[in-house]
Structure 1
């Protein structure tokens, strides 16, 4: 990443900045002797991945998740990409509109942010701005309740509330539901809520590196640990926090066990080096076999939520172009 965004308490900023520098020095030394994490990754990409992984680990194991969120958000690496987008906070439901400046699209995106249902900070706001900038669409991003303080069904209720809010002024045929990671899970589960209630579906659902099984699925959950900014154990912990008593169960809360025939078309993206890769690929296969309208693109060289690298990596830029193309294809034909 090319620049840093600082926020929160000064001591946490200093702590995170020191950590980033230690990781950077270590990575440059490793690259100098030919010990790259992946042969086709440069030092800057590796530094960013290792730093975010460290911050997630520290935040999730520190015993105080509120402080952990502040730590995670204290230093955020960003690309040099500039997004010409205005922000308009909302109170009910709590969230924010991201509107591209200049010529806009007739489509509205309901964006459900990632973070394992546990984190929500500057990285999510920048992701929303990135989507608004590239698609030319107004984006509404709700600030849904977080785990572990608020387990399921809080997030499902907040997703439906956000959908209800947006559809008060926008027809479902002009809405695309989109989410990354846990937000991808939330997007897919929202389709099931709408299906169960017999409500009109959005024009399209886009899952960006979506969490499709809250349990342990696929060899990539461990094989890709060394590459990814999210570890397999983290995904399992997020699942525990979502359903701490096992009240609802894995099958009820995992999209891969649902039936997506009759829902909106689904477009998925995944990174070949992310821990969720296998479950995303399997979700697409399972749903296609059932007859659901699901398509998937995989970028073999990329980690989790790689779209955020935007202009920094060719694969990320291509993924964003594919998102724009998918939105146009599914909204113009309505």
Structure 2
């Protein structure tokens, strides 16, 4: 005889006992999943298959333990990325110029052919890297993709990172650049975008602008955002050791976030924006993949925005781990992802 209690009965019992659904879930048994082999899907492009088939990120579970160790890790990764930039710039036909705005280092990324409808538009880009990686030009990949695929000017913020500066330095820098940008460009003609930590900073920036009564952009595009750095979310479990970029909830990215947070409460909405008041946010498009460790972070953020009455679109790509759409400009999925974002911006930005 089946003596299990239906879920409706469990929820009723929880309500009678004054328990939250989260507390109830803590008392439910986990589901044991047998070990299995995951093939590279044949439903994606050869370029994406190559990315999916790569081994887990080297050193994902052995993060640095000293400030100098983090500096060395960032520089090693930056050196590898810098070698790819000439090819990106040539194929996507963009020019890059270093500069400064609001006392913050930036890079101006300009396509050789700006689309006519984008002549007066400007995008602000916030790079990813778990708040500690991709310094300098190494943070430009996504900005180059957006400028090239979208035919629009981009300002990429080279915000301060540990060990030189800690929370909230990165957020302070992107807000400073925004304040400088809106002196010359109508915010209605501007959008903000970024992935991973850049996606979180995009959302955190909106919270700061809202708190300070500053104008917001016409639209934003936080890609696979680190919107909850406390480790909550289903895909931290379901995609553990499946995502070959971030790999697991207790990996290097969590250690990097703790390094940046410098003892600050991880539930602060300026570190985990899913806990913030997002009412009044601009129209938002979010991007993730089915193997992304931050799939739940992205989905939960999308639902949070929708519940607050914000126009929000969610694009989920087959087989992609964390921000795979930022890796190979020749992959049709990358072109599609940025085309979707460009079209979304095109609908919402004034000319």
| TM range, smaller chain | 0.7 to 0.9
Matched, 1:96 2:121: no
Scaled by the length of structure 1, the TM-score of the pair is 0.80
Matched, 1:230 2:246: yes
Q: What does 1:1-334 align with in structure 2 at a 5 Å threshold? A: 37-40=39-42, 44-46=50-52, 49-50=54-55, 53-54=57-58, 60=64, 64-76=69-81, 78=84, 82-91=91-100, 92-104=103-115, 105=118, 106-121=120-135, 122-228=137-243, 229-231=245-247, 232-233=249-250, 234-246=252-264, 248-252=265-269, 253-332=271-350
Over 3 Å counting, the alpha-carbon distance change for 1:141 and 1:103 in structure 2 is closer
1:85 to partner: Cα distance: 0.9
- Cα pair 1:265 1:293 within 8 Å, conserved: yes
- Cα pair 1:215 1:239 within 8 Å, conserved: no
* Distance of 1:184 and 1:153 partners within structure 2: 15
SS of 1:70's equivalent in the other structure is helix
* Distance of 1:154 and 1:174 partners within structure 2: 26
* Distance of 1:59 and 1:37 partners within structure 2: 28
1:64 to partner: Cα distance: 1.0
Greater Rg by CA: 2
Cα deviation, 1:101-154, whole Å, max 9, x if unaligned, reads: 133422101000000110014542222111111111111111101135422111
1:313 to partner: Cα distance: 3.1
1:100 to partner: Cα distance: 0.7
- Cα pair 1:187 1:205 within 8 Å, conserved: yes
- Cα pair 2:123 2:191 within 8 Å, conserved: yes
SS of 1:164's equivalent in the other structure is helix
Q: Which moved more, 1:171-180 or 1:230-239?
A: 230-239
Over 3 Å counting, the alpha-carbon distance change for 1:291 and 1:137 in structure 2 is same
Higher relative contact order (CA 8 A, sep 6+): 2
1:295 to partner: Cα distance: 1.9
* Distance of 1:50 and 1:145 partners within structure 2: 31
Q: Structure 1, unaligned stretches of length 5 or more?
A: 1-34
Flag the structure with higher helix content. 1
SS of 2:73's equivalent in the other structure is helix
- Cα pair 1:209 1:304 within 8 Å, conserved: yes
User: What's the counterpart of residue 14 of structure 1?
Assistant: none
Give the RMSD, CA atoms, in angstroms: 2.5
* Distance of 1:57 and 1:131 partners within structure 2: 31
Aligned residue pairs, count: 296
User: What's the counterpart of residue 25 of structure 1?
Assistant: none
Over 3 Å counting, the alpha-carbon distance change for 1:165 and 1:58 in structure 2 is farther
